[in-house]
Every structure is written in C-alpha cells, then in structure tokens.
Structure 1
Amino acid sequence: MERWPALELASTIRHDGDGGVADDLATAQSMARWIHQQADLLGTHVDVAGLSMDERLRSEIVELRRAVRALFAQAVSPAPPSRADAHRLMPVEQALAHLNAAAAREAIVPQLAWPAGGTPRTGLLSNERDAGIRLIAALARAAIDFLSGPQREQLRACNAPRCVRYFVKSHGRQEWCKPSCGNRARAARHYQRHNATTAQ
C-alpha cells in the first residue's frame, strides 16, 4: 500500500481505540517517535538524526498539520471533513498561506546525478543547515505535491463511527480507511437496526 508523507502527517490525529482521539504529536517524545517512523518517506534530504526534537519543532509540525487537515477538508468537500477537527478548521486561505510559507522556508535546487553505468536520478541541493526547517519544508512540499496530484481526487474522510482519519480510496466501493473501520460501521448499522426493531 502506497504511503504519502502528507497523509501520514494528517493521520497523526487518530481514533485511540476507546472512543476518543489520540495525537501522535502530543509531546516532543511522541513527535520524535513519529518522525523516526517516517524516515524512509522523508528521504535522504532530511537528516532525521540531526533534528532537535524540541517543543519549537513540535509546535511548527502541529501548525503545519492544522493547515494540511484544513486543505484535506477542502479537498473532500462537499463530503463532510474528518470529525476530529471539523469544528475548528483553519480557514482555507490561511491554510494555503501557511503551507506555501512553510515550503518556501528552504530554498532548494533540483540536481541530476548520473553514475557511470547507472540510472539517472534526481536529488535536492540546499544550503539550509537547520534540520528542523528542512523537515518542515519537506513536509509542506509533500503536502503540495499530494494536493496537486491525482490522489487528491480519491481523498476521503473515513465515515466509520469514531474514526477521524483521511484515506486515499484505492477501489470503487471503498468507504473506510481500513477493515476494522468497516467492521465497526457494519456493527453500528446492525445495532441501530436491532434497536429500531425492538423499539417497535
């Protein structure tokens, strides 16, 4: 299953298994754990080992997530957004400005590498020394790529009870982000039908 850094960032708000919402970026320690889990998606351009996992970086990533989730809500419209933050979404214009400003914090130049006898590949050249700025800019560029790419058309908010995730629809009948959400939705429908029948 394909993973996108922007979707992974938006998914740091998730159902906690007990009817509430968990935040994978709630503390600097949980943020550090999440960043290390995303190292393969971030590529060699972001030096995860060189990051200062402090409150400043955490608050910047959380604010970027707010912008991304607001733009995800815009992308799934007119369908309802995720219930996690539907009541406190950042205005779309503010989210766009924040995302673009975050991406612009690092000036990068694409570079072509072509080893003898090998396949050409692209890389990014940057003079930015602050690993935190590089991370924020990389996440913002990933969100820009996601929202301007074909996967935006398949973005959905999971409508299973208690779920707060966004997902990319991978087949025509997919309604939920994962099978467990489908099971919960079917169980909730069965419970409602059963209660309606016994109430009569």
Structure 2
Amino acid sequence: MAAHAPSTRLALALAVTVRHDGGGGVADDLTTPEALTAWVRNHAADLPAAVPGPAADAAALAAVREVRAAVRALFARAVPGEPSRADADRLMPVPDALDVLNAAAAAAPVVPRLTWRPDGEPAARHVPAAALAGTDPGRVLAAVLAHAAIAFLAGPDRPLLRACHAPRCVRYFLKGHPRQEWCTPSCGNRARVARHHTRHHP
C-alpha cells in the first residue's frame, strides 16, 4: 500500500482493526485505551504531526470506535458484492454512518499544508488547524480519522476496495491487480484449499 495516500492507509487500517482471530471468530484490536495508544503509535507516519499525544483515554477510545463503526458501514456500501462478514448483520444504517463521520470531522477543522521534498513533487496534506490546541485530544484524533475516511471514500482509491471472502477472514483490502481476490496470500491459500475440499468432498 506504499503508493497510496496517507488518508487511504489510515482509513483502511482503522477498518481492519476488526479482524479474524485465527480460530473462526472475530477479534477487535481496539478494546482498551492502551490498545488505541499502541495503534496510534504504530500509524504515526500517516497521522498529522498535530494529532495530540500518545496516551488515549476511554473517551478517545469511544470516539474512535464510533468513527470505525461508521467507516465499516460505508465500506460495506462501497464494495461490490457482499461486505465483510464481521459485522454484516449489525451494520450502522448508511444515513447514520454519514452523520457520525461528518459530525466527527467537523470537530476539528483542517488547513492545507504544502510539503516539497528535495527529490519529489509538491504535495498537499490537510492537518488540524493550530487553533485546536485546547480541543479534546480524543475528538481531534477521531476527527483526523474521519477526515481520512472521507478523503478515501470520495477519492480515487475507493473503487479498489474489496471485502475478503476467504474462509474465516473478515477484512477489507485494496485490490492491487485485476486477478486479486483475497487480502493476503495466506487467505488465498485457505480459499483454494476450501474450494478443493468442496469439489472432492461434496
């Protein structure tokens, strides 16, 4: 995913914090403030520098999880075919998801920031306005993630979004080439084994 915009990487990374647990169930990577703190630290390269500090609290966790629920509902609408099985039977209604995402985004206005590396092209990124120094950090983080999701869903990468339908997988991914059907080679292997088993043991 290196060629994709930070907003694309962030939106997808947030959505796939709901994943299969390896045993047929679904795991959630964002169940505690400490887990959210670790997630933010792991994705610092794609987050604007103005996103406040590493320590998340319960309010930040709740705000981010609500944005994630909205993102997954909108991903389910965006993909061709069936959405991820992780939450297909309990998705937030699309109008509610739009309201949640837009309300979260409005909590932290952004300004464009131009960067131009010596060996590259000029690039614009939107970052939280400096005037937000007194805004609740959890709301700023949720807003930044909402901005990323909006940019992705309204941007050129959205048509590449797919739900992985390999056995036990519940993730979303970006289709990297025309024949790609699964999020990872291991999911592809599981799907092929399952197909083989079905053909030979109907």
TM (normalized to structure 1)? 0.88
Task: Output the amino acid matched with 1:139.
Answer: L
Of 177, 183, 186, the residue aligned with 1:180 is 186
Q: Using a 3 Å threshold, how does the CA distance of structure 1 residues 194 and 147 change in structure 2: closer, same or farther?
A: same
CA contact (8 A) 2:14 2:68 kept: yes
Moved more, 30-39 or 106-115: 106-115
Structure 2 equivalent of residue 128 of structure 1 = 132
Structure 2 equivalent of residue 93 of structure 1 = 95
Q: Any idea what SS the aligned residue of 2:201 has? A: helix
Task: Output the amino acid matched with 2:112.
Answer: P
Q: Using a 3 Å threshold, how does the CA distance of structure 1 residues 112 and 81 change in structure 2: closer, same or farther?
A: closer
Deviation of the 1:46 alpha carbon: 1.4
Q: Using a 3 Å threshold, how does the CA distance of structure 1 residues 111 and 8 change in structure 2: closer, same or farther?
A: closer
CA deviations on 1:47-85 (whole Å, 9 max, x unpaired) are 3xx2441111111111110000000001014x1110000
CA contact (8 A) 1:51 1:132 kept: no
Task: Output the amino acid matched with 2:21.
Answer: D
Structure 1 equivalent of residue 144 of structure 2 = 138
Deviation of the 1:17 alpha carbon: 1.0
Deviation of the 1:45 alpha carbon: 2.6
Task: Output the amino acid matched with 2:95.
Answer: E
CA deviations on 1:90-139 (whole Å, 9 max, x unpaired) are 00000011101101101223245789xx9866563331123222211110
Q: Using a 3 Å threshold, how does the CA distance of structure 1 residues 120 and 23 change in structure 2: closer, same or farther?
A: same
Q: Using a 3 Å threshold, how does the CA distance of structure 1 residues 119 and 5 change in structure 2: closer, same or farther?
A: closer
Larger Rg: 1
Structure 2 equivalent of residue 17 of structure 1 = 22
Q: Structure 2 CA distance, aligned partners of 1:67 and 1:111?
A: 27
Q: Structure 1 CA distance, aligned partners of 2:201 and 2:48?
A: 51
Q: Structure 2 CA distance, aligned partners of 1:191 and 1:113?
A: 53
Structure 1 equivalent of residue 166 of structure 2 = 160
TM (normalized to structure 2)? 0.87
Structure 2 equivalent of residue 61 of structure 1 = 64
Of 36, 40, 44, the residue aligned with 1:35 is 40
Q: Using a 3 Å threshold, how does the CA distance of structure 1 residues 42 and 195 change in structure 2: closer, same or farther?
A: same
Q: Does 1:72 align with 2:83?
A: no
Q: Kindly tell me the number of residue pairs found equivalent between the two proteins.
A: 191
CA deviations on 1:151-190 (whole Å, 9 max, x unpaired) are 1111100010110000110100100000000001011111
Q: Structure 2 CA distance, aligned partners of 1:120 and 1:187?
A: 47
Q: Structure 1 CA distance, aligned partners of 2:79 and 2:121?
A: 38
Q: Using a 3 Å threshold, how does the CA distance of structure 1 residues 121 and 162 change in structure 2: closer, same or farther?
A: closer
Q: Structure 2 CA distance, aligned partners of 1:168 and 1:120?
A: 25
Percentage of pairs with the same residue: 55
Structure 1: tracts of 5 or more residues without a match: none
Q: Any idea what SS the aligned residue of 1:106 has? A: coil
What's the Cα RMSD here? 2.1
CA contact (8 A) 1:156 1:168 kept: yes
Deviation of the 1:23 alpha carbon: 0.4
